[in-house]
Amino acid sequence: MQIKPQALAQHLRTQLAPIYVVLGQDLYFLEQAVSQIQAAARAAGPLDESRLCIESLKDWQTLFTEANSYSLFYDKRLVLASFEKKTLEAEAKNLLTQYLKAINPACTLLLKAPSLPAKQLSFLSTSKEVVVVTAYPLAPAAMKQWIGAQLKQYGIRCEASVPELIYQYTQGNSLACAQALEKISLIQEANTVLTLAAAARHLSFQCEHTLFELSEACLLGKAALAIQIIRQSAQSKVEASLVLWMLTNEIRILMLLQNQQAAPIPDFKKPLYLQCLQRFSKEHLGKLLQSCQGIDLTIKTHAPLPAWQALERLALQLCTA
């Protein structure tokens, strides 16, 4: 079964599938989907959690060994695996097919594969045990609907034109939209209607620089500005993971363009990316993506200062190559 992130919450309220695969280049929706699945698994009771990164056939074998094992202290297990490649090897498909024939009922298997095309999983299309979540950037109309739905979830009533304004302000970037919506939810007074004028004030009352500007600073090679934005974000207690999502997304887009593949960016911004791309080789971008994985682990180990320092280094490398 294949669903979009917007339908995942409703799905998880009714069931928890044995296997989830989360795909797509929209890192905000992708990470949100992963977090929702993790939360649903944890809500079912105490469980043992393990993580691994898949880079070779040996790692696939380790993954399914983990999935088939049982915990000494918990009745349930959650195995989260990250897979960065664009192709699923024949041996990996075979291992997955074999696992489907004898699924461990005590284990939820969660595979995060942002670069893997959905067609690579076509052999699973008839399986009811596998849920594929496709976290791709939304079309403008769908993005505006999502903004409206998020405002309703925050309990905010608004004028009909407000979602359009937020969309224009954030240029449809899902992470920027989420940040703007969270800010509005904290500022908007209860039992009042969010007018277009009030939304415009909320959106303009930003700190000197926003995370959304970090992307452009890195693409333009403005190292001093990028470092300033990151340090300002740290002082403002912005989640380090949000900064990492932003930088990782830019690296993935550059890799797609370098491989002459379609990238989720508006046409008017493509020259900016192509100009930035001249600074990098495939090997260099690959190393930057590996750095992102390392920073992700640092953040998850709750080491805030080293994480922010690593983010500064990553931004500097993006700016200067």
- Predicted pLDDT at 44: 85
Contacts of 83 (CB under 8 A, 6+ apart): 53, 54, 111, 112, 113, 116
Confidence of residue 182 (pLDDT cuts 50, 70, 90): confident
Percent of the chain with pLDDT over 90: 44
- Based on the domain organization, do 94 and 158 belong to the same domain? no
- Based on the domain organization, do 125 and 60 belong to the same domain? yes
Calculate the average pLDDT of the chain: 87
- Based on the domain organization, do 33 and 112 belong to the same domain? yes
- Based on the domain organization, do 307 and 229 belong to the same domain? yes
- Based on the domain organization, do 178 and 267 belong to the same domain? no
- pLDDT per position as a tens digit, 286-304: 999 999 999 988 888 776 5
The CATH number linked to 28 is 3.40.50.300
- Based on the domain organization, do 192 and 119 belong to the same domain? no
- Based on the domain organization, do 167 and 148 belong to the same domain? yes
The CATH number linked to 239 is 1.20.272.10
Residue 98: how many other CB atoms lie within 10 Å = 10
- pLDDT per position as a tens digit, 194-222: 998 888 887 754 444 567 788 888 999 98
- Based on the domain organization, do 149 and 227 belong to the same domain? no
- pLDDT per position as a tens digit, 13-72: 999 999 999 999 888 899 899 999 999 999 988 889 898 999 888 999 999 998 888 888
- Based on the domain organization, do 48 and 117 belong to the same domain? yes
Pick the last residue of a domain from 183, 204, 225.
204
Q: How many domains does the chain have?
A: 3
Domain that holds residue 71: 2-134
